[in-house]
Amino acid sequence: MVLIYIDQADQEVKKASLEAISYGAALAKQMGTNAEAIILGTVKEDLSQLGKYGVTKVHQVANDSLNHFDARVNATVTAEAVKLAGADVIVFAHNTNGKAIAPAVAVKLNAGIVTGASALPKTDNGFVVTKTVFSGKAFASIKIDTPIKVITINQNSFGTQSTEGTATLETLAVSVPTSSIKITSVNKVQGEIPLTEATLVVSGGRGLKGPENWGVLLDLAKALGASTACSRPVSDSDWRPHHEHVGQTGYQIAPNLYIAIGISGAIQHLAGVNRSKTIVVINKDPEAPFFKAADYGVVGDAFEVVPALTAAILKSKASA
Amino acid sequence: MKVLVCISKTPDTTAKIAFTEGNTKFDENGVQWIINPYDEWYSLVRAIELKEKDANVIIHLVTVGAADAEPIIRKALALGGDEAIRVNNSSSDSMVVAQEIAAIAKEGAYDLILTGKETIDYNSASIGSMLCALLDQNYIAAATKLEIDGTKAIVTREIDGGEETAESNLPIIVSCQKGMAEQRIPNMRGIMAARTKPLKVVEASIQTATTSIQQFDLPAAKSGVKLIDPTQMDELVKLLKEEAKVI
Ligand SMILES: Cc1cc2nc3c(=O)[nH]c(=O)nc-3n(C[C@H](O)[C@H](O)[C@H](O)COP(=O)(O)OP(=O)(O)OC[C@H]3O[C@@H](n4cnc5c(N)ncnc54)[C@H](O)[C@@H]3O)c2cc1C
């Protein structure tokens, strides 16, 4: 059986977990087995609806104390629950919480693990998982040699597929250790889609000259309904908040569309964005290295091109 | 307070990524090696800052790797570690590396173990979490801030779409990322001092890997950029809609 870990925050199922279910369900089908899910804590949603994404059963450890994430506690409970439910493969989203506990769960189950998988494993001869390495500059195919296997799947790399179906619910009786981590404050960027979940991203670099010039970029993002990102020097100079920094040492993202404005395309920047499906580069320098990694390019001054693009998008939306 | 900082050797961020031996090995030819940036800029520098505030802080460094990791470890000592341990195991399996570090950690009874958020070569982001299970200690991943207050750690971590601050008693394991500290450059005094700081080599004790790398591949090259005239933004919108189908 393939078991998918459902991550939750504020008692809501994380979007990344729906993709993990789609991935786990496709893997189960390939292996001729079924896919089930496991969730810790309680959520507002009707969990039977997760059947739509391909799981037949949802195991729940319905203890409210698990609604606060504690890596040690969650990993311990998850490992115990996996033993009760019985699974050959456990799939996590490669998001903040998934990364924090999947390796610990692997240790507890004596399982081999591959984190950051970018495609379905090959299962015809052993169990080989392809993952991104060197920050997206290459792929590695890694064979897991243990009977139980753990995978975390890169966000936006498989996609979410939903069909028909409902899942049955089963409560698991697992004893929950007391957490010794006390959460004292939570600070959420209101109303914004987290960068790692965004499908459309507009990003700015040093070419925009200063924080006071970000208006053109924000207008474009608003017209598109896109999230905003930036290059490292931009966040280092505090022109934009740190959580917008993408690249080798920032967030690695894989949106459907990445629009880079006034960013030169340094190798360290590309490492964070080169898995984007479509890249548009707007730069006044035709020699900017970013054009080599782009699908569409506009050679021109951002302060003219970007407002024109925003206007064109609004026009196209109005006529649609 | 005893701090253990985990250090990994990685290729420089501008290194050419190529493979040899039928695409089964990373081509090290001409590659410059650096301390994994997350380990250096964030974990190590934060540990040094803690020591600057409290002279009782002792910083040990651990790396799991072959002898060619020693220049990197010396650089980390020059930045400010007190002692270093190299476990002579060149396995690329995170489970093996974590078990080696766990053995060192148990022996040293550290109050705080710091790792980078991930390494920039294998991007596994696994060691901290594995240590959490192997040592049965609290673990906070992807931390952007860390303060120590007596026997308590106050840690801010990234969550999807924001940040969360939590308190935990020591000992604790923390994986570090941007926000934690600022990059430093070793000074001459540090470099001289590093030459005589202890660097202990411990023989490998874990041999059984749980995974093995079969093959590396490079991504397919982009077919080439399509240039659009800056006055033709309607055309770009049309391409994004109809050709790329992304908006
Ligand atoms: C170890 C290491 C890790 C790093 N990690 C990261 C990382 O994670 N992310 C990251 O981004 N960088 C990272 N860097 C830094 C990276 O090397 C580059 O320095 C950085 O990405 C450059 O940012 P930029 O493109 O915004 O600025 P620049 O390189 O200065 O480029 C500005 C661009 O704007 C263009 N421009 C100027 N004016 C206009 C205009 N009016 N209209 C249109 N275009 C204009 C210019 O032609 C130029 O191409 C790292 C570096 C190192 C050494």
Q: Average of pLDDT values for A2-13?
A: 96
pLDDT band at residue A153 using 50, 70 and 90 as cut-offs: very high
What are the contacts of A298-302 at 24+ separation with CB within 8 A? A298/B227, A298/B228, A298/B229, A298/B230, A298/B233, A298/B236, A299/B227, A299/B230, A300/B230, A301/B230, A302/A207, A302/A208, A302/A216, A302/A261, A302/A262
pLDDT band at residue A191 using 50, 70 and 90 as cut-offs: low
The answer to whether A274 and A255 are in contact (CB under 8 A) is: no
Q: Chain A contact for B32, CB < 8 A?
A: no
Each residue's pLDDT tens digit, B43-92: 999 999 999 999 999 999 999 999 999 999 999 999 999 999 999 999 99
Percentage above 90 pLDDT, chain A: 91
The minimum CA-CA distance between A145 and chain B, rounded to whole Å, is 5
pLDDT value at residue A189: 76
Pick the CATH number of A195-319 from 3.30.230.30, 3.40.50.10800, 3.40.50.1220, 2.40.50.140: 3.40.50.1220
Chain A residues near residue B22 by CB distance under 8 angstroms: none
Residue among A110, A136, A192 minimizing CB distance to B161: A192
**A2-171 and A195-319 agree in CATH topology:** yes
* Consecutive H or E run containing A283: strand A278-283
Is 80 exceeded by the pLDDT of residue A192?
A: no
Residue B195 lies in a domain: yes
Residue B181 lies in a domain: yes
Q: Domain limits at B62?
A: 2-219
pLDDT value at residue A240: 96
Domain spans, chain A: 2-171, 195-319
Is 70 exceeded by the pLDDT of residue A285?
A: yes
CATH of the domain at B179: 3.40.50.620
Residue B66 lies in a domain: yes
Q: Average of pLDDT values for A232-254?
A: 93
Which residues of chain B fall short of a pLDDT of 50? none
Residue B239 lies in a domain: no
The answer to whether A88 and A101 are in contact (CB under 8 A) is: no
Q: The whole model's pTM is what?
A: 0.93
pLDDT value at residue A282: 98
The total domain count for chain B is 1
Each residue's pLDDT tens digit, B117-133: 999 999 999 999 999 99
Residue B48 lies in a domain: yes
Each residue's pLDDT tens digit, A86-102: 999 999 999 999 999 99
Residue B118 lies in a domain: yes
Is 90 exceeded by the pLDDT of residue A227?
A: yes
Is the Cβ atom of A301 under 6 angstroms away from ligand 1?
yes
The answer to whether A148 and A87 are in contact (CB under 8 A) is: yes
Residue B245 lies in a domain: no
Nearest CA to A115 among A234, A216, A187, A20?
A20
Q: What is the CATH number of domain A2-171?
A: 3.40.50.620
Interface of B with A in 114-133 (CB under 8 A): 120-130, 132-133
